[in-house]
Chain A
Amino acid sequence: MTSSPTHPTPLVEMTDIEKHFGGVRAVNGVSLDLNPGEVVGVLGHNGAGKSCLMRILSGAMIPNGGMIKVNGRPVTISSPHDARKLGIETIYQTLALADHLDAPANLFLGRELKTRFGNLDEKRMLDEARKVLRRLNPNFHNLGDAVSSLSGGQRQVIAIARAIYFDVKILIMDEPTAALGPSETAMVADLIKRLSAEGIGIFLVSHDMHDVFALCDRVMVMNKGVNVGSHRIDEVTKDDVLSLIIKGALPDDWTPRNLEVAL
């Protein structure tokens, strides 16, 4: 399924990924891939292992086993820095913002813009931050405030901006709309469509069935660390997905939805 003629090599191929914490098998032999321009929903209960799997790809967590290929080449991702060099950008569920710093400082943290003399180029960082943040939220004005004083939505917008500002090829979004209001959520949905149209591959971790069905090309459901189902979005219903999430299996009488339609 992954090697359709339009997608000769997947962007990402994760094979048999393992992550243990003592006796807890947070990720238990999960395989998953992602093609250019594809949006893959990663679903499952709290504690199913979604964030762990995503953190392994973004270099925030070192797996106990498994293999990762990016653009067909095996890679070792042992730090967030490694992941970024491969064009993997992540919006973490925790947002990962430094509370005492302002929005531009957070946006460019770890990749600061510098002047010819190696000093921080505050002015350019502020200008760029204003541009990208306003695109996501036109009412974003308090760029000089410590991000601890901003609203949950504004903080999430900074985390999103940081992931898309740089040259992103693979975008991991771990519950990116959890703190957003309706208009910002719509903005993020538009953003996902636009980025995937540009050929960027996106993993979207979400609990919102509406978003998942509106945005994803494929869904992968995790249950207790195991991949219990990977389906094209047009072959399942919301009830099918819920059954995978809750029971870890499709309904007993399941047949692919698009087949049903054809019959």
Chain B
Amino acid sequence: MVELVQRLRKAGAGAGLSNEAFHKLSALLTMLILVFVFAFGNDAFFSVNNGLTILLQTSVIGLLGIGLTMVIITGGIDLSVGSVLALSGTVTGLAVKAGVPVVPGMFLGILVGAACGVVNGLIITKMRITPFVATLGMMLMARGLALQLTGAAPISQLGKAFGVLGNGSLFRMVEMQENGFPKVIFPGIPYPAILLIVVAIAAAYLLRRRALGRHIYATGSNEEAARLSGVVVDRTKIMAYAMSGALAGLAGIVLMSRLITAQPNEGVMAELDAIAAAVIGGASLMGGVGTISGTMIGAFIIGILRNGLNMAGVSSFIQQIIIGAVVILAVYVDQLRSKR
């Protein structure tokens, strides 16, 4: 195994592939193998409908994963995204319940998420608390606040408009049949999937084409060097955590909209799926390394794994074991490839 990876790596280098491209390629290959295996085992897996289901399920992990990627590239970690997701979703739910129109209510939720991220960033940069501890604290505080605000009860009957973002889709085609029943010709592309693609492109643009993105990489690569080069390291980090928080808020709104219920208990352990997606996609917890496209592949690997295992009737306990093993394997392969 070790030898195989190293031999492949050498072949990759010979073909002019960078480490990053090699990792992405191997992740992509893993994803295709998964699709192939699951499709072979179950005809229903390889259908338009199931493809869209996977897209939908991956959108939440994907949104969280994009935020985490930015934080991980700075050399940090954000354990609070699962709880912030719940807090933002419930704040939106409460606001809508109180009569705020859906769109401003949703913006409020994203704002709450961003605010949590800014607080994370301030605790890390100004109080000099490590990201692990700071965001662990925020994980507890945001969850506690969500439970306190709602009395731990879900908020339902939020109205039809609240469910559009999570359940609607673009280009949905329905035809009335002669017998009076509608027939779905094309189920449409779910809004959450479109949102994920838009956010992914925006994040990749930010990381690759803007100075802030460059500073995010520099900060994670060598914080002292970044500082000496005139990069305002603190502000860069705060921005990364703010974006992670805002995306957690967005993910929360998408999820609660899909359920048409604001659930203060949603998103428990979602941060772990998101971290796994980033790491499988090649982000290094040491900082300085990571891409949005890699994280998207990572998110889809997790989404496909869960979906395929579900369809194969594998219990959620076994799924956890498998995903845990996949994460360790991904990091191990990553270490092998970057060994000099």
Chain B residues with CB under 8 A of A92: 228
Docked-complex contact A97 and B225, CB < 8 angstroms: yes
Q: Give the complex CA separation of A94 and B228 in angstroms.
A: 11
| Residue pair A110, B229 in contact (C-beta under 8 Å) | yes
Q: Within residues 287 to 316 of chain B, which ones have a CB less than 8 A from any CB in chain A?
A: 288-289
Contact of B218 (CB < 8 Å), options: A79, A109, A111: A109
A101 to B215 CA separation, bound complex (whole angstroms): 10
Q: Which residues of B contact A183 (CB under 8 A)?
A: none
* Complex-state Cα separation, A119 to B218, whole angstroms: 17
Q: State A98–B224 Cα separation when bound (angstroms).
A: 9
Cβ of A80 under 8 Å from chain B: yes
Instruction: Say if the beta carbon of A60 comes within 8 Å of chain B.
Output: yes
Q: How far is the CA of A90 from the CA of B228 in the complex (A)?
A: 9
- The residue on A at minimum CB distance from B230 is A110
Is the pair A98, B217 in contact by a Cβ cutoff of 8 Å? yes
Min CB distance B247 to A, Å, is: 22
Contact of A98 among B210, B226, B230, B232 (CB under 8 A): B226
B209 contacts the other chain (CB 8 A): yes
Complex Cα–Cα for A96 and B228 (A): 7
Query: Looking across the interface, which residue of chain B has its beta carbon closest to that of A58?
Result: B228
A163 to chain B minimum Cβ distance, whole angstroms, is 11
When distances are taken between beta carbons in the complex, the residues of chain A under 8 Å from B228 are 58, 60, 80, 90, 92, 96
Distance from A98 Cβ to chain B, minimum over Cβ atoms (Å): 4
A119–B209 Cα gap in the complex (Å)?
A: 5
Which residue of B has the minimal Cβ distance to A119? Answer: B209
Which B residues are in CB contact (< 8 Å) with A100? 217, 220-221, 288-289
How far is the CB of A58 from the nearest CB of chain B, in Å?
A: 8
Minimum C-beta distance from B277 to chain A (A): 21
B172 on interface, CB distance cutoff 8 Å = no
Residue B227, interface by CB 8 Å: yes
Question: Is the beta-carbon distance between A96 and B211 smaller than 8 angstroms?
Answer: no
Inter-subunit contact B211/A114 (CB<8 Å)? yes
Distance in Å from the Cβ of A32 to the closest Cβ of chain B? Answer: 21
A126 to chain B, nearest CB (A): 14
Asked whether B231 is an interface residue with its Cβ less than 8 Å from the other chain, the reply is yes
Contacts of A101 in B (CB 8 A): 214, 217-218, 221
B288 near A96 (CB under 8 angstroms)? Answer: no
B335 proximal to A (CB < 8 A): no
User: Is B222 positioned at the interface, with any CB of A under 8 Å from its CB?
Assistant: yes
Q: Decide if B229 touches A120 in the complex (CB within 8 Å).
A: no
Contact A98 B222 (CB under 8 A): yes
- Chain B: residues with Cβ within 8 Å of the partner, total of 22
B210 touches A109 (CB 8 A): no
Cβ of A99 under 8 Å from chain B: yes
A96 touches B214 (CB 8 A): no
A105 within 8 A of B: yes
The minimal Cβ–Cβ distance linking A110 to chain B, given in whole angstroms, is: 3
Name the CB-closest residue of A to B224. Answer: A96
Give the contacting residue for A109; candidates B209, B224, B229, B288; CB below 8 A: B229
Most A Cβ at <10 Å: residue of B210, B226, B230, B289? B230
* Contact status of A98 and B221, CB under 8 A, knowing A109-B231, A110-B229: yes
Determine whether the beta carbon of B230 is less than 8 Å from that of A99: no
Asked whether A98 lies within 8 Å of B288 as measured between CB atoms, the reply is yes
- Interface check A81, CB cutoff 8 A: yes
A108 to chain B, nearest CB (A): 9
Check if A120 sits within 8 Å of B209, measured CB to CB. Answer: yes
Give min CB distance, A90 to chain B, whole Å.
Answer: 7
Provide the bound-state CA to CA distance between A215 and B165, in Å: 70
B194-252 at interface with A (beta carbon < 8 Å): 208-211, 214-215, 217-218, 220-222, 224-232
Of B215, B220, B226, B229, the most chain A CB neighbours within 10 A belong to B229
Tell me if A84 counts as interface (CB < 8 A to partner B). yes
17 example contacts (A-B, Cβ-Cβ < 8 A) are as follows A58-B228, A60-B227, A80-B229, A81-B230, A96-B222, A97-B222, A98-B229, A99-B288, A100-B217, A100-B220, A100-B289, A101-B214, A105-B218, A110-B230, A114-B211, A119-B210, A120-B214
For the A-B complex with A94-B224, A95-B225, A99-B222 known, give 20 more contacts whose Cβ atoms are closer than 8 Å.
Answer: A60-B228, A79-B230, A80-B227, A92-B228, A96-B229, A97-B222, A98-B222, A98-B225, A98-B229, A100-B220, A100-B288, A105-B214, A106-B229, A109-B218, A110-B215, A110-B230, A118-B211, A119-B210, A120-B208, A120-B211
> Shortest 8 CB-CB distances between A and B: which pairs?
A110-B230, A98-B221, A100-B288, A110-B229, A96-B225, A109-B229, A100-B221, A98-B218
